[in-house]
Amino acid sequence: MINLIKRVTPIIGIFVIILACSNTIDEEPSLIVGQDFTSTSIRVLSIDTFTVSMSTIKFDSIITEGNERLMLGQYNDAFFGKVTASPYFRVNTTDYNIDEDAELDSIGLVLGYDTYFYNDTTATASVEVYKLIDELEPDELNFYNTTEIAHEETPLVAFEYRPEPNRDSIYVTLPYSLGEDLFNAIKNNDILDDESLFTTLEGFTLKPGQDDDSSIIGFSTASDATYLRLFYSLPNEFEAEEEILDFSISPFAVSYYNNIVTDVTGLELSNITDQEDDLPSVQTDNFGYLQSGTGYATKIEFPSLKNINELGVGTILDAVLRLKPSTEGYSDTQPISELLALYIIDQNNDVATQISNNNEFIFAAFTEENSELNEAIYNIPVTDYLDFKLNEQPETEDALVLLPLDYNYSINKILFNDFFNEDFEAELVITYAIYD
């Protein structure tokens, strides 16, 4: 789920519709039309000059819990400023029994990669591990990218590492005193279950270094990938037996989320101060901005659509929105989302519904139409939506947004060329049948 926004700026200007081509029904022998067309003269038009209006909005907050990924890191982005991701999580175990003769050896945190990365992984990254001092409880019902929970001022440990997202894991040695307190509390039966554990150990948060400019890395929440581990030994007549006790992130409760924020000071995006603000693409170098995790999205409207009625009584046979992502917005180290879901946002910019066609959700597919000319395009079928807009009563002030499938648990960005972009203009192509 996504917790979203508020309003649309009024549309400025109506563009004249130009007919790209016109044919009679006799010139289109393969066209299949409905019963109502059988006794009429039909013209089929292909129209590609409708205005596609874009603006950038920022959702108030988005839910970042329950997606099986911890996100950690920081990098500086030319368009979105300083992007920072910090996971919050708590751990528990299924076994709160330790032999009274056992002796603690060490304690460590294992962070298992889940292969996700964004930006330069060759740059050294810093990690600070903090102990939470407040309970890991959600705002209202959910954790959001904006949720923060109090933690100790001094980190338990701080270290540097070189991310290797295709490797297994990294191991972080934690202070012996932390392990000793936890270990002894379990041995002495002061910790018997999850409830008593959380009064002693609320959880952790991981923070990047304040001046880091490297990458954002994904770590798995699976119990065999990320866990807190106690190493201890049991006295034996010949040789001590080495034992372990693992505390993993529970899959049965809200036990983790990601705080994901941006600092856009000095950038055009700083003009968006709340969820009701729209930033027209003409103010952002003719781009519509989209970034997962942080709440930015491109609002898409068609202000000249109703002018199609001036051509005569007819029906939309097909409609495709064609959008090109600027190559300034993706690279090998900043991969682009290849599949986007199509949603309607209402007059308050809240997500109303995901658009479907014949009970199947509509997705924008990223395809290379001409690799030599670097023309990689998103083609989005919008026939049903436009047909609905032409016939709705009363009229509503809704719009479209495209969101990646991993919008809640990644930070990938896209810069959409707008209607006035010199590289490639956003284009709405409608096939329209006119009849008497």
How does pLDDT run across 386-405, given as a tens digit for each residue?
999 998 888 888 999 999 99
Domain ranges across the chain: 2-60+274-435, 65-262
Least confident of 127-131, 240-244, 330-334: 240-244
Residue 370 pLDDT level (bands cut at 50, 70, 90): low
Instruction: Quick: pLDDT tens for 61-112.
Output: 999 999 999 999 999 999 999 999 999 999 999 999 999 999 999 999 999 9
Q: Which of 164-173, 277-286, 362-371, 414-423 has the lowest mean pLDDT?
A: 362-371
Say whether 30 sits in a helix, a strand or coil.
coil
What is the pLDDT, as a whole number, of residue 329?
Answer: 94
Average confidence score pLDDT of the chain: 88
CA dist., res. 303 & res. 400, Å (int): 12
Could you read off the pLDDT of 23-70 as tens digits, one per residue?
333 333 333 344 444 555 788 999 998 999 999 999 999 999 999 999
In angstroms, rounded to a whole number, what is the distance separating the alpha carbons of residues 170 and 56?
38
Instruction: Decide: 416 and 323 in contact? Cβ < 8 Å.
Output: yes
Please, is 175 exposed, middle or buried when counting C-beta atoms within 10 Å of its C-beta (0-12, 13-18, 19+)? middle
Residue type, 283: Q
Closest by CA position to 96, among listed 238, 237, 201: 201
pLDDT at 5: 32
